[in-house]
């Protein structure tokens, strides 16, 4: 049993387990007894090599993701997971350097990644959402440099580990859900928000494959909307969409910006248009709760950021074998099953965003 597993069983942080093991810091009697009982039952033996490494040197991992406010705040949730791992691993002399870039600008990407080459890092967690730019970066890194992917994958490159959903299956599920919720079954459309992104492409393919398998003759149109986060441009695009397809029955939005689509089309239509998007960013939570947005498919971004850092830690510091791929389950949220803590979590995220701005 590892330190992390002990922490999970006890329901505490790794740092607290470490304080119990080494008799330092303040720990409640109840927590100390719980950890000691788990250690006795599991026959835990400390990893002496890792302990020596911990005492003798520091480790710094880079985290390369888009700017936190982009994609309706999706990346801020990934960031929260990274920071949670960073806090837990701080006692082990592990630190995280976060590097952000504008995903709408390859120039921004190339400028910001120079930080990777101006300092020494022990590994990299990255979201390869800009395929060509990401591949160019990876070619510059040493062949044995530890790289973990989160959120997306990159054909042609095999990272140390990849954490994310099966995007094709996710798109297929979106098709099934939309078909079940739409009032009629005649016309659907897909809004592809980042056509260059491989996992967005796979979501679209999965959605189309679902309807091909049904052979119902349902009309499906695929649109690209690169400016979906820009309110004025988004509304201009959606106005044209509704004129072009006035009988649209349902819309699948391939990223976390479903709230903007759902609110506009349902304000400008005489009937409800079922809309499905991704992830519990604050505005999606609001629209889901209000019944404007119908379904959110969550890919657990906080978990992805958290687990990505731990994969690097396990491989680099503990020198353990790690999983080549961690498939994140597809979680379905509707108005009726929003987590009870969703509202308080949203408020906490907004307060964090405001304090950091």
Please report, rounded to a whole number, the percentage of residues in the chain having pLDDT higher than 70: 89
Cβ 207 vs Cβ 172: under 8 Å: yes
333 in any annotated domain: no
357 in any annotated domain: no
Residues 310 and 272 in one domain: no
* Spatial distance between the Cα atoms of 38 and 47, rounded to a whole number of angstroms: 16
Q: What is the pLDDT of residues 283-292, one digit of tens each?
A: 999 999 999 9
Residues 105 and 181 in one domain: no
320: which DSSP letter? -
Residues 290 and 177 in one domain: yes
Residues 69 and 126 in one domain: yes
173 in any annotated domain: yes
342 in any annotated domain: no
178 in any annotated domain: yes
Residues 40 and 69 in one domain: no
Ranges assigned E (strand) in the chain: 59-66, 94-101, 123-126, 147-150, 161-164, 187-192, 219-224, 250-253, 274-278, 295-298, 325-327, 331-333
Residues 138 and 207 in one domain: no
Helix (H) or strand (E) run with residue 36 in it: helix 29-42
Lowest model confidence (mean pLDDT) among 7-21, 63-77, 297-311, 338-352: 338-352
Q: Which two tokens stand for residue 236?
A: 């201009």
Cβ 12 vs Cβ 31: under 8 Å: yes
pLDDT for residue 50: 55
Residues 57 and 156 in one domain: yes
pLDDT for residue 124: 98
Position 278 pLDDT exceeds 90: yes
**Which residue range(s) make up the domain with 142?**
53-165+300-323
Summary mean pLDDT of the chain: 88
344 in any annotated domain: no
Domain of 143: which CATH number? Answer: 3.40.50.2300
Per the structure, how many domains does the chain have? 3
Q: What is the pLDDT of residues 228-265, one digit of tens each?
A: 999 999 999 999 999 999 989 999 999 999 999 999 99
340 in any annotated domain: no
pLDDT for residue 257: 94
Residues 294 and 172 in one domain: yes
Residues 77 and 192 in one domain: no
Q: What is the pLDDT of residues 59-113, one digit of tens each?
A: 999 999 999 999 999 999 999 999 999 999 998 889 999 999 999 999 999 999 9
Cβ 151 vs Cβ 184: under 8 Å: no
pLDDT for residue 83: 96
* Spatial distance between the Cα atoms of 63 and 78, rounded to a whole number of angstroms: 10
282 in any annotated domain: yes
Give the three-class secondary structure for 65: strand
Higher pLDDT pick, 349 / 222: 222
Residues 177 and 204 in one domain: yes
Q: Which residues contact 9 (CB under 8 A, 6 or more apart)?
A: 38
Higher pLDDT pick, 62 / 187: 62
Q: Which two tokens stand for residue 91?
A: 């006692």
The owner of tokens 């700017």 is 67
Residues 290 and 184 in one domain: yes
Q: At what angle do helices 70-89 and 14-22 cross, to 10 degrees?
A: 10
Residues 147 and 218 in one domain: no
Position 46 pLDDT exceeds 90: no
Backbone φ and ψ of 100, nearest 5°:
-110, 155
């Amino acid at each position: 049993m590892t330190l992390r597993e002990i922490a999970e069983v006890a329901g505490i942080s790794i740092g607290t387990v470490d304080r119990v093991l080494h008799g330092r810091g303040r720990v409640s009697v109840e927590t100390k007894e719980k950890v000691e009982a788990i250690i006795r039952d599991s026959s835990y033996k400390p990893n002496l090599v890792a302990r020596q490494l911990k005492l003798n040197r520091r480790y710094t991992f880079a985290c390369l993701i888009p700017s936190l406010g982009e994609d309706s705040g999706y990346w801020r949730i990934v960031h929260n997971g990274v920071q949670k791992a960073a806090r837990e691993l701080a006692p082990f002399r592990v630190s995280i350097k976060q590097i952000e870039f504008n995903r709408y600008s390859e120039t921004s990407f190339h400028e910001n990644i120079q930080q990777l080459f101006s300092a020494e890092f022990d590994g990299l967690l990255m979201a390869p959402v800009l395929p060509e730019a990401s591949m160019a970066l990876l070619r510059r890194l040493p062949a044995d440099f530890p790289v973990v992917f989160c959120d997306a994958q990159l054909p042609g490159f095999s990272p140390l580990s990849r954490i994310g959903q099966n995007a094709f299956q996710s798109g297929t599920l979106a098709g099934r859900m939309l078909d079940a919720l739409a009032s009629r079954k005649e016309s659907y459309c897909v809004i592809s928000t980042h056509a260059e992104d491989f996992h967005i492409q796979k979501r679209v393919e999965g959605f189309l494959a679902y309807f091909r398998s049904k052979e119902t003759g349902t009309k499906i149109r695929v649109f690209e909307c690169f400016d979906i986060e820009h309110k004025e441009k988004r509304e201009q695009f959606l106005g044209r969409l509704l004129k072009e397809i006035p009988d649209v029955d349902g819309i699948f939005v391939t990223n976390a910006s479903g709230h903007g689509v759902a609110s506009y089309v349902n304000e400008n239509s005489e009937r409800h248009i079922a809309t499905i998007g991704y992830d519990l960013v604050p505005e999606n939570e609001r629209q889901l709760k209000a019944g404007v947005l119908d379904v959110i498919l969550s890919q657990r971004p906080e978990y992805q950021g958290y687990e990505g850092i731990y994969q690097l830690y396990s491989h680099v510091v503990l020198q353990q074998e790690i999983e080549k791929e961690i498939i994140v389950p597809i979680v379905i949220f509707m108005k009726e099953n929003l987590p009870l803590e969703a509202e308080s979590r949203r408020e906490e995220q907004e307060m964090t965003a405001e304090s950091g701005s």
